[in-house]
C-alpha cells in the first residue's frame, strides 16, 4: 500500500522558517510528479509548489522567493523549505504525488495526511 508520510509542521513566529518533508513508502513502480498543497480554514486547497521527475518546479506566486521545493528521487522524498513565513501562510500543508503502483497500472493521485503550519506571534 502506498503512503505519503509528512513531517515538519508546527508553530513559528512571523519571519521564521520551517522545513517540511514528505516520503513515499510502500510498494510501487514509479513516481511521476510530487508537490505540496495547502488549505487554510474556509479556503480551497491550493498549489504551493510541485515538480515532475526531472522537470522544473512550479510555485504559487505568493511563495516565490520565500519557499524552496526540492526532491530526492533516490529517497522518494520531497522537501519544502519555508522562509520569511507570514501569518497568511497558516494552513494545513498536504503532500501530493502521482504514483504508478505497478508496471501495468495507471498513475494514481495520492495525498498525505496533512501537517499543520501556524505562523503567529
| Residue 82: pLDDT band with limits 50, 70, 90 | very high
| Residue 52: pLDDT band with limits 50, 70, 90 | confident
Mean pLDDT over each residue of the chain, to the nearest integer? 94
Q: Burial of 81 by CB count in 10 Å (0-12 exposed, 13-18 middle, 19+ buried)?
A: middle
> At residue 83, does pLDDT exceed 80?
yes
The mean pLDDT value for 53-60 works out to: 86
Render pLDDT for 105-116 as a digit per residue (tens, 0 to 9): 899 999 999 999
pLDDT of residue 53: 74
Q: Which set of grid coordinates corresponds to residue 81?
A: 523549505
| Residue 100: pLDDT band with limits 50, 70, 90 | very high
DSSP secondary structure string for all residues of 2-21 = -EEEEE--EEE-TT--EEEE
Amino acid at each position: 500500500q502506498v503512503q505519503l508520510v509528512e513531517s515538519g509542521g508546527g508553530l513559528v513566529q512571523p519571519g521564521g522558517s520551517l522545513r517540511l518533508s514528505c516520503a513515499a513508502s510502500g510498494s510501487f513502480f514509479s513516481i511521476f510528479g510530487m508537490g505540496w498543497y495547502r488549505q487554510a480554514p474556509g479556503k480551497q486547497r491550493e498549489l504551493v509548489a510541485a515538480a515532475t521527475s526531472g522537470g522544473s518546479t512550479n510555485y504559487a506566486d505568493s511563495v516565490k522567493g520565500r519557499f524552496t521545493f526540492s526532491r530526492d528521487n533516490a529517497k522518494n522524498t520531497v522537501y519544502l523549505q519555508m522562509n520569511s513565513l507570514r501569518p497568511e501562510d497558516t494552513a494545513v500543508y498536504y503532500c501530493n504525488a502521482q504514483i504508478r503502483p505497478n508496471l501495468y497500472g495507471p498513475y494514481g493521485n495520492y495525498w498525505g495526511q496533512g501537517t499543520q503550519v501556524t505562523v503567529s506571534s
